[in-house]
Amino acid sequence: MLLEKQSVYLSVVVPVYNEEACLEDLYARLTAVCDGLGKPYEIIFTNDGSKDNSAEILDALHKRRPQQIRVIHFNGNFGQHMAIMAAFERVRGEIIVNMDADMQNPPEEIPKLLAEYEKGYDYVGSYRKERDDSFILRSLPSLILNKIRGAVTDIHIKDQGCMFRAYSRRVVDLITQCDESSTFVTALGYKFAANPTEIGVEHQARLQGDSKYDVYKLVRVTFDLFTGFSMAPLQVFTLFGFVVSALSGCLVAYLLMRRFIFGPEAEGLFTLFAISFFLISVAITGIGIVGEYVGRIYEVVRRRPRFLIRQVVEVSQDEATSPSSAMKEQQHVS
């Protein structure tokens, strides 16, 4: 980890990308929930290269509560999971909760995660009990991809698209030891947890702003999960190759027998063309899957930074825990 850890009960990690419309409301609701816990906490916002005024708003939020609000500014857009990883490398809390800035999972649900964590679990996942989204554009694609991901990988998470989760410090420390450029934080947490569980949480429609995920990005995330946590796609194509080779051998033997018995025939030529085109398309798909794995190996070999941090806005650790700072914060809140 990059920073010395301190006695903080809760760290809330929030990746932010073009969420200027949500941040003020998020700040008010999130700090109210955390204040109600009566324990030390911090909130880390990672600005993932936002193009709107999110950066300025986050800096202003830090000034309101410098001891509790920390802001990481990326040099560009590196993706939601890299934004989470950057914050994970800097958290100080005993429990780490990750949530999205759009508040579709309400901050008021955080105590539910903490109550489950206190029962002895080191990873508390969540699933959306009733999604308040477009069924065709969001809910249905997520449902289908969740089923496919669960079948292909050994990551048995009910709602893999829900980022609202609580992690123990040990699990987060293990996650930050992984340095692959394409990763899936929730799946890593599940893999490293000794005693994981899941609970149902409320889900609300976006009150402001637009979703940053579309069907293409959902498919892209699915590919990342497949290639990062399973060899099944390669194994399936290897098995399929053996089966097709056997069937092709049988077909060749059958056609030779017909030629010797009935002589040259023109019938079935288009069928052979159709079979050939099908096998060629399958081969191209297999090459694409192999390319996904090779591409990830290439990214690792290049060893380029997974993300670039332009600025970290925070007070020093000593200032954050000093009695005088706590008194100033108390006066500010009152």
- Supply the pLDDT for residue 320: 58
- Supply the pLDDT for residue 216: 62
Is residue 123 within 8 A of residue 168, CB to CB? The reply is yes
Side-chain half-sphere exposure of 46, counting CA atoms within 13 A:
30
Strands 41-47 vs 8-16: parallel, antiparallel or unpaired: parallel
- Supply the pLDDT for residue 146: 65
Alpha-carbon distances, residue 229 vs 101, 148, 226, 236 (angstroms):
27, 13, 6, 15
Please give the class, per CATH, of domain 9-212+306-333: alpha beta
- Supply the pLDDT for residue 56: 97
CA distance 168 to 63: 29
The amino acid sitting at 220 is R
- pTM given for the model: 0.73
- Supply the pLDDT for residue 211: 61
Give the residues across from 128 on adjacent strands: 201
Listed by start position, the domains of the chain span 9-212+306-333, 232-302
Give the residues across from 200 on adjacent strands: 127
Q: What is the pLDDT of residues 183-224, one digit of tens each?
A: 788 888 988 999 999 999 988 876 665 665 556 666 666 677
Residues of the chain with pLDDT under 50: 1-6, 323-334
